[in-house]
Amino acid sequence: MNSIRTYILLLFLVLGLQQAKSQSYHFKTSGFSVLQKNERGKWGEWSNLDLVNLSVVLDTNKHRIVVYSQEIQLYSILDYIEREENDTDIVYSFMCKDNDGKECKLSIITRKKQDYRKQLYINYDDHIIVYNIITV
């Protein structure tokens, strides 16, 4: 009888740890590009894709997204935007504040027609950063 209680307790602990862990999502970047507005407010061209291997963590328990670049990019999640899906994309978006207190919108986009490739977009009023990411 005691071994059954131990088994049930162990099962609850394992399930509880799995649920807690499922609130943190880990990604690796493979490249990034930047798009900026010019002095007249028009969008320019995307920069060349630079290869970069960084860690990205979406932590819904701490309400933040962290990009572990040379200077750590910390985005505090202010609002979770409802998931969007269409024929080509699945989009999870978050309204955030960065390290400097500037508001921005982060989106994790899965490209259905591009072999389910994932990208992280960091959208500001005057520039956009995109990282190609993979789930780890």
Residue-wise pLDDT for 19-33, tens only, equals 444 589 999 999 999
Q: Which of 60, 61, 56 is nearest to 129 (CA)?
A: 56
Q: Are residues 101 and 88 in contact, defined by beta-carbon separation less than 8 angstroms?
A: no
Instruction: Give the dihedral of Cα atoms 135, 77, 49, 112; nearest 10 deg.
Output: 50
Instruction: Look at residue 18 and tell me whether its pLDDT is greater than 70.
Output: no
- In sequence order, what E strands does the chain have? 24-36, 50-51, 55-59, 64-68, 73-85, 89-97, 103-111, 117-123, 127-135
Q: Are residues 57 and 65 in contact, defined by beta-carbon separation less than 8 angstroms?
A: yes
Cα separation of 40 and 55, whole Å?
35
Q: Which of 124, 129, 86, 82 is nearest to 105 (CA)?
A: 124
pLDDT digits (tens, 9 = 90+) for 65-114: 999 999 999 999 999 999 999 999 999 999 999 999 999 999 999 999 99
pLDDT band at 56 (very low <50, low <70, confident <90, very high): very high
Instruction: Look at residue 8 and tell me whether its pLDDT is greater than 80.
Output: no
Q: Does 36 or 17 have the greater pLDDT score?
A: 36
pLDDT of amino acid 50 = 96
pLDDT band at 134 (very low <50, low <70, confident <90, very high): very high
Instruction: Look at residue 53 and tell me whether its pLDDT is greater than 60.
Output: yes
